[in-house]
Amino acid sequence: MRAGQIITAACTMLLAGLMLMGCGGEGDKPAQTATTGSESQADTSPIRVGGLIDLSGPTSSVGVPYADGLRAAVRYINDNGGIGGRPIVFDLQDTAYNVQQGLSLYKKMVNTDKVVCIQGFGSAVTEALVRTQAKDQVPNFSASYSAHLTDPRTAPYNFFISADYSTQLRAALKYFRSQWTEARAPKVAFIYPDHPYGLAPIPAGRAYATELGYEIVGETNVALNAIDATTELLPLKNKAPDFCWVGGTTPSTSVILKSAKNIGMTSVFFTNIWGTDETLPALAGADANGSFSNQAAAVYGKDVPGMKIIEQITGGKPQMTHYVRGFVSILTMAEAMKRAADKGAVTGESIKDAAETLRDYDPMGLAPLISYFPDDHRPNMAVLLYTIKDGQLTFVAEEILDRRADWLGH
């Protein structure tokens, strides 16, 4: 037998042997802390939480304030006794909205640093981690609000604190329909980027608009990085929609509002949660006035108990609504951790189980009441509607929908 064949055979056998060894290498659950029920009473060891946020990528303009909110809430929790005396150690890392980077950071956090929970951000990374987190039993409290992530059959370890994009669109449609007084059917149009985030709620919006008796008069795509939307809006203007849904981000919303004003559109524009924040009046100027938006958290300065804490932490310096949502995300996670600690060990699995026992949890008034169920991870069916009046986000109404089973995951 030639030397090459002998080497090949030896390598094959070695490979087979090593693969068999590899079989048992990762048997223990990576996201488990060392504590047990009896130990936890005197346990002051930190509970490790990972943060996978876009701090330098395309969505970093909202990722950075969101991350600030997360950090502030962790400090608040730790200053107030932590989780049954155990502090949260929060390792916040930048994914740059890059899936590969997010995946690599996640593996390090879970397998090397032994985090028990993740605070995530961004559709691409959150969705790429869905399967891995289910396998590792590590919950992800993410800021990616796609409806399919609320279905525990698809994403058993995903939680978020805002109504999903589809629910938000439905709630706004319901609100405007309830305010409609004319005899004819209201006309609605959808404006969104041809992007997973933009497309996610559109089928739900179309179906519910039809159900409510809207007339859908048109749809158009405006890219997230558009600098003008006149071409896209002109065909819509001819159809004279009463309402226009804008499913982009703040920069694209400002472009749409300015272009609409330029061509004399008189429709009421309403936006998805990432389409409006405190920067919109600065970007669109007076053209932003009168537009509506869906939000999931109180704006800075609202008279609720949680806002007093945020004002104290920030020394009265106004923060964006994304900051408040980050704060709520940590509060909700901490509540689940506290419940898990009361029962025994704080592990990814116990946090998930505890989160699923939350019923009308009040994050100090900063967001609508939150509940998760084992077969339904929609935090609530409530959406806060704001309008921009004199350059300020002004609360209009809280619209609450029925928790319809056929809407779960869609």
Partner 1 sequence: MQGKCGLFFTSYRGEARIFRSGFQKLMVGLFILALLAAPLALNIHETSVMNLVFIAVIGAVALNLLTGVCGQISLGHGAFIGVGAYAAGQCTLHGVPFPLAILTAGLITAMVGMVFGVPSLRLKGIYLAIATLAAQLVLEFVFLHGGALTGGSSGLLLDPPTILGFVFDTEARMYYLLLFFAAAALLMVANIMRSRYGRAFVAIRDYYLSAEIVGVNLFWFKLVAFGVSSFLAGVAGGLWAHYTGYISAEQFNIGLSISYLAMIIIGGMGSVLGSVFGAVFVVLMPEALNALANSLSAAFPGISQSLVALREGVFGLVLILFLIFEPEGLVNRWRLVKAYWKLYPFAH
Give residues in contact with partner 1 (CB under 8 A). 7, 11, 14-15, 18-19, 21-23, 25-26, 30, 55-57, 93-94, 96, 98-101, 103-105, 107-108, 111-112, 123-124, 127-132, 135, 146, 148, 154, 194-197, 199-200
Burial class (CB in 10 A: 0-12, 13-18, 19+), 199: middle
Q: How far is the CB of 393 from partner 1 (least distance, A)?
A: 27
Which residues lie below 8 Å from residue 192, measured CB to CB, with a gap of 6+? 198, 199, 202, 219, 221, 222, 245, 246, 247, 248
Q: How far is the CB of 20 from partner 1 (least distance, A)?
A: 10
Query: Which residue number, 138 or 366, has a Cβ lying nearer to partner 1?
Result: 138
Q: How far is the CB of 124 from partner 1 (least distance, A)?
A: 4
Query: Which residue number, 108 or 403, has a Cβ lying nearer to partner 1?
Result: 108
Q: How far is the CB of 90 from partner 1 (least distance, A)?
A: 13
Amino acid at 249: T
Amino acid at 284: A
Q: Which residues of 223-253 are buried (b: 16+ CB within 10 A; e: fewer)?
A: ebebeebeebbeebbeeebbbbbbbbbbbbb
Q: Return the C-alpha torsion angle 264, 268, 272, 277, nearest 10.
A: 80
Structure tokens at 305: 């108990």
Cα–Cα nearest to 159, from 377, 403, 337, 409: 377
Query: Which residue bears the tokens 């004003």?
Result: 261
Helix (H, G, I), strand (E, B) or coil at 60: helix
Give φ, ψ of 364 to 5 degrees.
Answer: 55, 35
Q: How far is the CB of 293 from partner 1 (least distance, A)?
A: 21
Query: Which residue number, 125 or 233, has a Cβ lying nearer to partner 1?
Result: 125
DSSP H or E segment with residue 234:
helix 230-239
Query: Which residue number, 16 or 286, has a Cβ lying nearer to partner 1?
Result: 16
Q: How far is the CB of 390 from partner 1 (least distance, A)?
A: 34
Q: Are 221 and 232 in contact (CB under 8 A)?
A: yes
Query: Which residue number, 140 or 291, has a Cβ lying nearer to partner 1?
Result: 140
Query: Which residue number, 185 or 223, has a Cβ lying nearer to partner 1?
Result: 223
Give the neighbor-by-neighbor strand order of the sheet with 88-94.
88-94, 47-53, 117-120, 140-142, 158-159
Query: Which residue number, 221 or 357, has a Cβ lying nearer to partner 1?
Result: 221
Query: Which residue number, 137 or 387, has a Cβ lying nearer to partner 1?
Result: 137
The DSSP symbol for 361 reads B
Q: Are 186 and 242 in contact (CB under 8 A)?
A: yes
Query: Which residue number, 200 or 381, has a Cβ lying nearer to partner 1?
Result: 200
Angle at the Cα of 96 from the Cα atoms of 169 and 200, rounded to 5 degrees = 20
Query: Which residue number, 75 or 108, has a Cβ lying nearer to partner 1?
Result: 108
Query: Which residue number, 46 or 344, has a Cβ lying nearer to partner 1?
Result: 46
Q: How far is the CB of 349 from partner 1 (least distance, A)?
A: 18
Q: How far is the CB of 241 from partner 1 (least distance, A)?
A: 23
For residues 119 and 329, give the distance between their C-alpha atoms in angstroms, rounded to a whole number: 8
Structure tokens at 145: 């609000």
Q: How far is the CB of 332 from partner 1 (least distance, A)?
A: 24
Per this entry, what is the length of the chain? 410
Q: How far is the CB of 159 from partner 1 (least distance, A)?
A: 17
Q: How far is the CB of 78 from partner 1 (least distance, A)?
A: 17
Cα–Cα nearest to 142, from 26, 50, 234: 50
